[in-house]
Amino acid sequence: MSFRAWYAVHKWTSLVSTLFLLMLCVTGLPLIFSHEIAHLTGASVEPPALPAGHAGQANIDAIVADAQARRPNDLPQFLVAEADEPELVYVRMADRIDSEGLTAFYTYDARTGAFLSEYPLGQGFMDLMLRLHTDMYLGLGGTLFLGFTGLLLAASIVSGIYVYGPYMKKLRFGTVRRDRIARLKWLDQHNLLGMVTLVWLLVVGLTGTINALNRPIFAAWQATELAALAAPYRERPAVTGALAADAALRAARAAHPDKSLSFMAYPGNGFATPQHFVAFMNGNTPLTSKLLSIVMIDARTADIVASAEMPWYVSTLMLSQPLHFGDYGGMALKLLWALLDVLSIVVLWSGLVLWWKRRKVTAEQKLASLRGVPIAVAE
């Protein structure tokens, strides 16, 4: 491709995506620290200290019964756990077992069964940031559009490398011409910070695109692998009445003693079958804690009827989600992610400023200026 073509790709992919990418960087900054902010604001709670010598786990059925009593017209959809907080267990409630939305999200002490808190759904600053970052309040269409901007970002970065190449022939890498006109200083700073954040922007852009495919990816898994597991039981009637979630969870843990519960779907949910619980288990190492194995448990007998690993495309999604927010290396990586996020905001904003100031300059004039040929540009 010619310089003119690379310049056009860089210009238009940047212009189309920059405003949305700025929004994503600004909203993504607090989301990097979502866990810490949730605890600071009281949206999430710390597990209480127990007397020395206390051991054991609460009965899950008693926990679910308490959640059911709090919302008698709703149904439990999922039991949820966090690998880094084994003392807590969460119950997700909805108006229907197969509903995509939820009506309540309760936190319980997994050791005593005590109710601890109800997460404030659809409220507060963090909920606003999350919705803007994931779908701009536009549902799946908004999510897919933001995923597309991640691809535009990748095209902008690759073309930007080629456009930046001629500068490397004239200037030492990292040079900022502070003694020249303001526009050149802005350009040098934009190029320098763009190169510094290049790899990070590619990572978060591509992982953001993968994350935007969350629903289609799980829909594909439900239509293929889960449907195949459920096929032998298609003629059996759906289970009804009280369900022994505690026995099902104990069976899943016994089958995978080296793993922890991520979440368990109730029968009739889109992540389970009408006759089975499906427990999603993750490992106990930094890498395997992001990957899922599934255990299908008969809801009547608590017998395990199938176990399987998630397919590669679901594993790719599960690995990309924490990487997108720097949730692999503790606080140190989160701070690095935050710094790179701020630098990226500067890159995006300076790119807008440069376009506004030089929107009448052609690609040929820009190339001529890089070769040292003077051009006349209006301020």
Q: Are residues 179 and 312 in the same domain?
A: no
**Could you give phi then psi for residue 45, rounded to 5 degrees?**
-120, 155
Q: Are residues 293 and 354 in the same domain?
A: no
Q: Which helix (H) or strand (E) holds 280?
A: strand 276-282
Pairwise CA distance, residues 70 & 342, whole Å: 43
Position 3 confidence tier, pLDDT thresholds 50, 70, 90? confident
Q: Are residues 157 and 14 in the same domain?
A: yes
Asked if residue 49 is part of any domain, the answer here is no
Pairwise CA distance, residues 98 & 119, whole Å: 21
Cα–Cα distances in angstroms (integers) from residue 169 to residues 8, 188, 249, in the given order:
21, 14, 63
pLDDT in tens, 38-91: 888 877 888 877 766 666 789 999 999 999 999 999 999 999 998 778 889 999
Q: Are residues 97 and 195 in the same domain?
A: no
pLDDT in tens, 279-311: 999 988 777 888 899 999 999 999 999 999 999
What pLDDT, on the 0 to 100 scale, is given for residue 252?
95
Asked if residue 251 is part of any domain, the answer here is yes
Q: Are residues 70 and 13 in the same domain?
A: no
Q: Are residues 116 and 235 in the same domain?
A: yes
Q: Are residues 165 and 195 in the same domain?
A: yes
Greater pLDDT, 246 or 83 = 246
Please tell me the pTM assigned to this model: 0.82
Number of domains in the chain: 2
> Is the pLDDT assigned to residue 362 strictly greater than 80?
no
Pairwise CA distance, residues 162 & 199, whole Å: 15
Q: Are residues 120 and 191 in the same domain?
A: no
pLDDT in tens, 147-197: 999 999 898 888 877 777 666 566 565 555 555 555 566 666 666 677 778
Tokens 């620290």 map to which residue?
A: 33
Axis-axis angle for helices 124-134, 34-41 (nearest 10):
160
Full domain range(s) for residue 294: 56-125+213-324
Q: Are residues 111 and 226 in the same domain?
A: yes
Task: Give the number of other CB atoms < 10 A from CB of residue 313.
Answer: 15
- Write the single-letter amino acid at 378: A
Asked if residue 280 is part of any domain, the answer here is yes
Q: Are residues 343 and 316 in the same domain?
A: no
In this structure, what DSSP letter does residue 336 have? H
Q: What percent of the chain has pLDDT over 90?
A: 52
Task: Determine whether 84 is exposed, middle or buried from the number of CB atoms within 10 Å of its CB (0-12, 13-18, 19+).
Answer: exposed
Q: Are residues 165 and 189 in the same domain?
A: yes
Asked if residue 46 is part of any domain, the answer here is no
Task: Give the number of other CB atoms < 10 A from CB of residue 66.
Answer: 15
Asked if residue 44 is part of any domain, the answer here is no
Asked if residue 148 is part of any domain, the answer here is yes
> Is the pLDDT assigned to residue 371 strictly greater than 80?
no
Q: Are residues 145 and 198 in the same domain?
A: yes
What pLDDT, on the 0 to 100 scale, is given for residue 230?
92
Tokens 């807590």 map to which residue?
A: 88
Pairwise CA distance, residues 146 & 141, whole Å: 9
What pLDDT, on the 0 to 100 scale, is given for residue 327?
80
Pairwise CA distance, residues 275 & 15, whole Å: 51
Task: Give the number of other CB atoms < 10 A from CB of residue 78.
Answer: 20
